[in-house]
Amino acid sequence: MKILCVLYDDPKDGMPSKYALDGIPKLETYPDGMTLPTPKGRDFNPGDLLGCVSGELGLRKFLEDRGHTLVVTSDKDADGCEADKELVDADVVISQPFWPYYLTRKRMESAPNLKMAITAGIGSDHVDLQAAMDHKVDVVEVTYCNSISVSEHIIMMILSLVRDYHNQHSIVKAGGWNIADAVQRSYDVEGMHIGTVAAGRIGLSVLRKMNPFDVHLHYFDRHRLPESVEQELNLTFHESVESMVAVCDVVTINCPLHPETENLFDETLINKMKKGAYLVNTARGKICNKEAIADALKSGQLSGYAGDVWFPQPAPNDHVWRTMPNHGMTPHTSGTTLSAQARYADGTREILECFFDNEPIRNKYLIVKDGELAGMGAHSYSKGSVTEGSEEAAEYKK
């Protein structure tokens, strides 16, 4: 079989000759007791850079020893890109949310052999799920592999925004020391009302991590948490997003992107938020209206916006989020730490091993199976596609 793997570019100075740490902690289970990926083998050192082209997710030896062909590229967007050329006779395509290969209906129809799309990470909205159902292309992802990584990133962003860390750091880097300038937008998070849109693996982890800061915790989710969890964290459940954002000083978005959540945070919803609130989005860029976010920062309706996700990705150089005031954007790095890469590389191999050996893939990894939403897909997504507009990714660096 032919496996096409679309990964982000190597470091500008080449692959690391050494790493900051000698290794990463060894984990056996996730917080809910689910076991980490359990492939039958591994051809990399945990803690190595695996998510870029030369890293190859540690898959080449495994695949070639089994007689399969592996093609790895970062060229994924413009007409005639390498990924499109290689897709036409591929059986499996692997992509990461951080450098997504937007598997649109048109691309799917160009690949008659395509049987499976694997997300090396979590979040498969870069695949046209409706087209995958229509064409009987299975979609799977490595559920939970980087959820804790993302939740840690969210905590960092919340504290950085509220304390105005970015401004204070820039003053020092510029050789300054004016303390009044450094603290005129700096507050304590203690006593604030913090809310999450969705309280799944990431959202619940954020709530647990914020609880020791002596804040008031809120959440909205279409699947309510058990009463025992609500009591443990003293959570306030809201029946609607509108109810929650009206009372929160900080809102973090942790829901999947699908047709029901696309453009959820538009001008109307943002104007229902508490004046001067902070918004953190590590879910998907398309959940927020980019112009509405920029306008709210300029007007002061939002005091800050920190996001790890854009649409499309990579974001064009003229994307308004690059230059708007009081932002703390990162280039979708929250879920691709070296720690997380080891887990999603292992998970990708586990999925491929099951696929080649005709063994069942973990139900929790399934998004689309046999033409229907399945597993986590049935729990988290709705039918349809949110890939429209992804061709703008070709504008990066133009």
Report residue 398's pLDDT band, with 50, 70 and 90 as the boundaries.
low
Q: How many CB atoms sit inside 10 A of residue 11's CB? A: 10
Q: How far apart are CA 179 and CA 164, in angstroms?
A: 12
Taking alpha carbons only, the member of 81, 11, 40, 33 closest to residue 350 is 40
Report residue 391's pLDDT band, with 50, 70 and 90 as the boundaries.
confident
- Beta pairing class for 92-95 and 193-197: unpaired
Q: How many CB atoms sit inside 10 A of residue 56's CB? A: 19
Q: Which residues pair with 94 in a beta bridge?
A: 5, 118
More confident position, 92 or 79? 92
Q: What domains can be seen in the chain, in order of their start residue? A: 2-145+336-395 (3.40.50.720), 147-322 (3.40.50.720)
Q: How far apart are CA 143 and CA 261, in angstroms?
A: 20
- Alpha helix ranges (H) inside the chain: 60-65, 82-87, 105-109, 129-134, 147-163, 165-173, 179-183, 201-210, 227-233, 241-245, 267-270, 290-299, 338-356, 375-380
Q: Catalytic residue, from 96, 130, 254, 313: name it.
A: 313
Q: If you average pLDDT over residues 350-371, what whole number do you get?
A: 97
Kind and range of the H or E run holding 92: strand 92-95
Taking alpha carbons only, the member of 64, 62, 69 closest to residue 5 is 69
* pLDDT score of 120 more than 90: yes
* pLDDT score of 162 more than 90: yes
pLDDT digits (tens, 9 = 90+) for 60-69: 999 999 999 9
pLDDT digits (tens, 9 = 90+) for 167-218: 999 999 999 999 999 999 999 999 999 999 999 999 999 999 999 999 999 9
- Beta pairing class for 277-281 and 216-220: unpaired
Q: Catalytic residue, from 153, 332, 343, 362: name it.
A: 332
284 carries an active-site annotation: yes
Q: How far apart are CA 314 and CA 77, in angstroms?
A: 9
Radius of gyration (C-alpha) of the chain in whole angstroms: 21
Q: How far apart are CA 86 and CA 107, in angstroms?
A: 11
Q: Are 296 and 274 in contact (CB under 8 A)?
A: no
Taking alpha carbons only, the member of 14, 7, 5, 12 closest to residue 99 is 7
Both structure tokens of 8: 């982000």
Taking alpha carbons only, the member of 301, 352, 299 closest to residue 43 is 352
271 carries an active-site annotation: no
Q: Catalytic residue, from 153, 284, 319, 343: name it.
A: 284
Q: Catalytic residue, from 96, 146, 301, 341: name it.
A: 146
* Omega before residue 312 within 30° of 0, cis: yes
Arithmetic mean of pLDDT over the chain = 96
* pLDDT score of 166 more than 70: yes
pLDDT digits (tens, 9 = 90+) for 206-254: 999 999 999 999 999 999 999 999 999 999 999 999 999 999 999 999 9
Q: If you average pLDDT over residues 286-313, what whole number do you get?
A: 96
Q: Are 148 and 205 in contact (CB under 8 A)?
A: yes
What is the model's pLDDT at position 237?
98
Q: If you average pLDDT over residues 259-274, what whole number do you get?
A: 96
Termini Cα distance of the chain: 36
